[in-house]
Amino acid sequence: MHGYLLRRSLTFLITLGLAAALSYLVLLVLPGDPAQVMLGLDPSPEALAAWRRQLGLDRPPLSRFAAWLARAVQGDLGTSLIYRVPVRELIGAGLAVTLPLVAGSMLLACLIAVPLGTWAAVRRDGLAGWVVSGATALGQAIPSFALGLLLMSGFAVRLGWFPAGGFPPWSQGLLPAGRALILPMVALAAGRAASLARMIRAGLVEVLRAEYVRTARGKGLPALRVLTRHALRNSLIPVLTLAGTEFTQLLAGSVVVENLFALPGLGSLAFQAIGARDLPLLQGIVLVMAAAVLLTSLLLDILYAVVDPRVRYP
């Protein structure tokens, strides 16, 4: 296991470096000039050249990337071109919103999907199984931004139960911040819960037909024990794989949902950085999101061995 973790750590660093290089290449070909964006519509050539020198945009692209990578290894992600503050501070402030949003959405999706998928599998031949299957198909079909608009219109604008947008500082307490995150969490979690519930149902239906489950039932074990200790646990491996994919989709979906609900998270920050061609800020955000996805993949590999003792890593 230790050797596997060492190899995965090396792979993590290499993949992170490749992700940083790829994102830098993509940002280079985006239209627009950061210096011109900062100076306005019709700057003089002298002012434009001076700003390009100040921002280091007159240097070769490879030289700029090497300098940025050397600083990033030391924890310095540079300075935002539009905010004129360290990128690390902006990302830290954005993570304070995006991290609880994504983590809460994932937790909510699991809390909905596990009992719903299990119930649908146990009652697969009855009306309940068909109702759950239809509900999960509908949940997968509705985009998060469309559900967010419906939730905002119903529970924020008409009923006034939750704020329609914005995010209060954490210093004001957990309750105001939590109220601001509830509707975005539901909008993000609904589709993920539907996907996970369908996967749990499919995996559990297959496991419930297995020989060892019939043997456990034949020995007189209680139905709940057969379900939780023998069937459900053995059906979780494909669910964990899907959960990793769903986490990546949550990160991507947070960009739209944060802008919809005016949340000052990484998604909104990335959207603003794209519009202003703020390359240091965009590179920092891409690096952090890539690291989050890779760390999630590593964590899931470890959970495989915990859930299924048959999984062994050389």
Does residue 132 sit within a domain? yes
Is position 39 within any domain?
no
Domain span at 116: 99-267
Reference 165, options 184, 150, 146; nearest CA is: 184
Confidence at residue 184, expressed as pLDDT on a 0 to 100 scale = 92
| CB 244, CB 297: distance < 8 Å | yes
Residue 229: what pLDDT?
Answer: 63
Rounded (5°) CA angle 75-285-90: 70
Q: Is 120 inside a domain boundary?
A: yes
Q: What CATH number is given to the structural domain containing 178?
A: 1.10.3720.10
**pLDDT for res 228:** 64
Q: What is the pLDDT of residue 183?
A: 92
78 SS3 class: coil
113 domain-assigned:
yes
Is 48 within 8 Å of 32 (Cβ atoms)?
no
Round to whole Å and give the CA distance between 109 and 198.
12
- Give residue 213's pLDDT: 66
Question: Which pLDDT score is estimated for 12?
Answer: 78
DSSP state of 43: -
In a domain, 74, yes or no: no
The DSSP call for residue 74 is T
The pair of structure tokens assigned to 293 is 């996805």
Task: Sort residue 259 into left (φ over 0), alpha (ψ -120 to 50) or beta.
Answer: alpha
Beta pairing partners, 194: none
267, 91 contact by CB (below 8 A): no
Q: Do 261 and 183 meet the contact criterion of CB atoms below 8 Å apart? A: yes
Considering Cα of 4, then 106, then 240, then 229, what sign does the dihedral take? positive
Q: Which residues of the chain have pLDDT under 50?
A: none
d(CA 217, CA 223): 7
List of residues 6+ apart from 56 with CB closer than 8 A:
64, 67
Per-residue pLDDT, 185: 92
pLDDT at 313: 53
Is 19 a member of any domain? no
Q: How many domains does the chain have?
A: 1
- Which residue has 């935002």 as its token pair? 80
CA distances from 13 to 31, 193, 204, 298, 314 (A): 30, 31, 36, 12, 20
Q: Which residues, in sequence order, are bridge partners of residue 79?
A: 86
Does residue 292 lie in a domain region? no
Integer CA distances (angstroms), 101 to 40, 68, 167, 185, 248, in order: 35, 29, 11, 6, 13
pLDDT for residue 232:
65
d(CA 252, CA 246): 10
Q: Please give the Cα distance from 69 to 90 (Å, whole number).
A: 18
Question: Residue 266 is inside which H or E element, if any?
Answer: helix 266-276
- Residue 196 identity (one-letter amino acid): L
- Whether residue 56 is contained in a domain is answered as no
